[in-house]
Amino acid sequence: MNRVNKCLWGVVLVALGIIFGLNAVGLTSVKIFFPGWWTLFIIIPCTIGFITDSEKLGNLLGIAIGVLLLLASLDVIDFNLVWRLIVPITLVCIGLKVIFKGLTSSDKAHQILAEQERERRTKIREGEVVEEDDMKEYWATFSGQKIEYDKKDFYGCRLEAVFGAIELDLRGAKIKQDAVVKASSIFGGVKIIVDNDVNIEITSSSIFGGVSNERKNSENNKKTLYIDATCVFGGVEIK
């Protein structure tokens, strides 16, 4: 969670505290628990995410669904209509996100992956031994997994967390050139820890999820880790 995100959440909590306090001493009578108040747990986080996150579409979808549910709770529109609209709206947004990601994905990341694949095929044709850790895949389904590359060569990997959690610790890893991590978090979480001498470049596609990056890039760093993230009701954290 970045600083702006924290500040916005702080403002929301302070405002709620003041309202509860004024109501308690009888100075105000603001109704907090109005019909559909529970939709604020959808609208407020998505609004904050829309302001602070680089990924807008997933948060915009959450705001739209939250507002529709609020209007239905206030008897402005029919609940049955809302439920019928949620599925097609969600499908359209996900489809647009997939198309948009395909058009805007990092060309550099694709270039690195293509070059690595060419090198692997060349090694195989020449009878060389291909390293097992080249773009290795790691899965965590209804479970957790921690991967460490201390003093090991790292060329990139794929991380798949489905109702699970994966922690990739690259501190001390031998990253000899730019590398790519393709991370997918579906109702799960992925944490990637990297040394400070490596820059981070992110391409992400998120629906009710997102990527948080606590790292700051430096012009002095000669290596870059490209992270291609997909988050559906999940998150990817970079530290």
136 phi/psi in degrees, rounded to 5: -75, 150
Tabulate helix, strand, coil % of the chain (nearest 5): 40, 30, 30
pTM above 0.75, yes or no: no
pLDDT digits (tens, 9 = 90+) for 148-199: 988 888 888 889 998 899 999 998 888 877 888 888 888 889 999 998 888 8
Concatenate the DSSP letters of all residues of 68-111 into one string.
Answer: HHHHHHTTSS-HHHHHHHHHHHHHHHHHHHHHHHHHHS-HHHHH
pLDDT digits (tens, 9 = 90+) for 24-80: 888 887 777 778 888 888 888 788 777 776 666 677 778 888 888 889 888 888 888
Determine how many CB atoms are found less than 10 A away from the CB of residue 60.
15
State the average pLDDT over residues 189-211.
83
What is the C-alpha separation between 117 and 125, in angstroms, rounded? 12
